[in-house]
């Protein structure tokens, strides 16, 4: 009896889309390998820990569920101790959220940890190119290494980065990504030795100024060590205007914008760091859960297919997995 070998599948990206896709393939008896360029899982669901030990959720702020499958996923994450509801004190006059907000118990990045259990994930592996060799895919990694002999590849990077890989591979899928638009976001991580006297813990600032969102980190991580930590997100317009500035230049500019916009200057900071999310939020999605070239065994997906939220990344990842498994007859 001959046993046909399990197809070799690579998923590019270990954000929610890539992990949801890989986990679903694993459930169907396949063994994908996930390749991730950064040092940790989660992509834009990010938690930064400073050398001093401060923790900041400086990417996605919370997760909401409309899709029953994603709601069930959140319940499973909550049961695993990875997720919990978050109900911070909002600015006066804010509308109550229509759906519960969920966050990771230890931060947004660890929220995806349970999805990756049992998966083969390779971190600090940046895919720099895709090419066909003997009817299979070869992925080039930075550092000159190759992953060869792949039967299927799914890319789950943000649309502009996915487009570069698709174009390099000569894939006709590349052009469709031009329809997708994204906006950047500068995030500021602040810690103060004295509390910042703001009458809320988190919320959107809807006055069209440079700052769009603030969140007190103790409302997420708990604990009271006398340090008041905040994450501040600049608006898409401000972020776009200051996109190519250095983090060092952005910190004082955004701090001064923050003071004049809120009318309550923050106390002197003991931590002030900026992070640029170049492709933070989808402003025009593709309008379908993924793109596929089944003959070439190439797929691409991510939040940008359906929207700007973690739930959209999950939906795209699960749909990708279904299409890949069907094409491979699994």
Residues that bind ligand FAD (CB under 6 A): 12-18, 35-38, 43-45, 59-63, 126-127, 156-158, 161, 185, 187, 233, 277, 280-281, 302-303, 308-310, 312-313
Calpha distance 206→212 (Å, rounded): 7
Q: Report, in Å, the least distance between residue 199 CB and ligand FAD.
A: 22
Q: Report, in Å, the least distance between residue 100 CB and ligand FAD.
A: 13
Query: Measured between alpha carbons, how far is residue 287 from residues 138, 210, 313 in Å?
Result: 29, 29, 13
CB of 13 or CB of 114, closer to ligand FAD: 13
Calpha distance 217→223 (Å, rounded): 10
Query: Measured between alpha carbons, how far is residue 166 from residues 22, 156, 188, 292 in Å?
Result: 20, 11, 33, 11
Report the DSSP beta bridge partners of residue 10: 33, 153
CB of 189 or CB of 296, closer to ligand FAD: 189
Q: Report, in Å, the least distance between residue 17 CB and ligand FAD.
A: 3
Q: Report, in Å, the least distance between residue 169 CB and ligand FAD.
A: 12
Calpha distance 61→44 (Å, rounded): 10
Query: Measured between alpha carbons, how far is residue 159 from residues 281, 284, 287, 302, 330 in Å?
Result: 11, 11, 13, 8, 28
Phi (first) and psi of residue 280, to 5 degrees: -70, -55
CB of 234 or CB of 262, closer to ligand FAD: 234
CB of 5 or CB of 48, closer to ligand FAD: 48
CB of 33 or CB of 38, closer to ligand FAD: 38
CB of 125 or CB of 191, closer to ligand FAD: 125
* Alpha helix positions (H), 89-245: 108-111, 113-116, 159-168, 218-221, 236-241
Q: Report, in Å, the least distance between residue 252 CB and ligand FAD.
A: 20
Q: Report, in Å, the least distance between residue 126 CB and ligand FAD.
A: 4
Calpha distance 104→96 (Å, rounded): 21
Cα four-point dihedral sign 200, 205, 211, 214:
positive
Calpha distance 124→127 (Å, rounded): 10
CB of 101 or CB of 196, closer to ligand FAD: 101
Q: Report, in Å, the least distance between residue 308 CB and ligand FAD.
A: 6
CB of 47 or CB of 269, closer to ligand FAD: 47
Q: Report, in Å, the least distance between residue 230 CB and ligand FAD.
A: 14
Phi (first) and psi of residue 218, to 5 degrees: -70, -20
């Amino acid at each position: 009896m001959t046993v046909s070998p399990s197809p070799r599948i690579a998923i590019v990206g270990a954000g929610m889309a890539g992990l949801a896709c890989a986990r679903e393939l694993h459930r169907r008896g396949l063994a994908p390998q996930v390749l991730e360029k950064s040092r940790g899982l989660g992509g834009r669901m990010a938690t930064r820990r400073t050398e001093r030990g401060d923790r900041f959720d400086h990417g996605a702020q919370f997760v909401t569920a409309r899709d029953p499958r994603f709601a069930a996923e959140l319940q499973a994450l909550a049961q695993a101790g990875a997720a919990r509801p978050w109900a911070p004190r909002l600015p006066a006059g804010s509308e109550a959220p229509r759906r519960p907000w969920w966050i990771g118990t230890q931060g947004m990045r660890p929220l995806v940890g349970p999805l990756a259990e049992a998966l083969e994930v390779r971190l600090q592996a940046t895919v720099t190119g895709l090419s066909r060799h003997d009817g299979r895919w070869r992925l080039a990694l930075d550092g000159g290494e190759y992953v060869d002999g792949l039967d299927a590849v799914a890319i789950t990077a943000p649309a502009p980065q996915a487009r570069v890989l698709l174009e390099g591979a000569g894939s006709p899928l590349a052009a469709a990504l031009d329809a997708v638009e994204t906006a950047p976001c500068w995030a500021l991580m602040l810690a103060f030795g004295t509390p910042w006297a703001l009458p809320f813990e988190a919320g959107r600032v809807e006055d069209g100024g440079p700052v769009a969102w603030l969140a007190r980190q103790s409302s997420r991580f708990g604990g009271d060590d006398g340090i008041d930590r905040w994450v501040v997100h600049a608006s898409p317009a401000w972020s776009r205007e200051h996109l190519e500035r250095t983090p060092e230049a952005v910190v004082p500019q955004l701090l001064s914008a923050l003071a004049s916009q809120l009318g309550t200057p923050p106390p002197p900071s003991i931590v002030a760091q900026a992070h640029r999310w170049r492709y933070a939020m989808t402003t025009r999605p593709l309008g379908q859960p993924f793109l596929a070239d089944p003959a070439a065994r190439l797929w691409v997906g991510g939040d940008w297919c359906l929207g700007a939220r973690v739930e959209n990344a999950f939906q795209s990842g699960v749909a990708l997995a279904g299409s890949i498994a069907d094409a491979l007859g699994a």
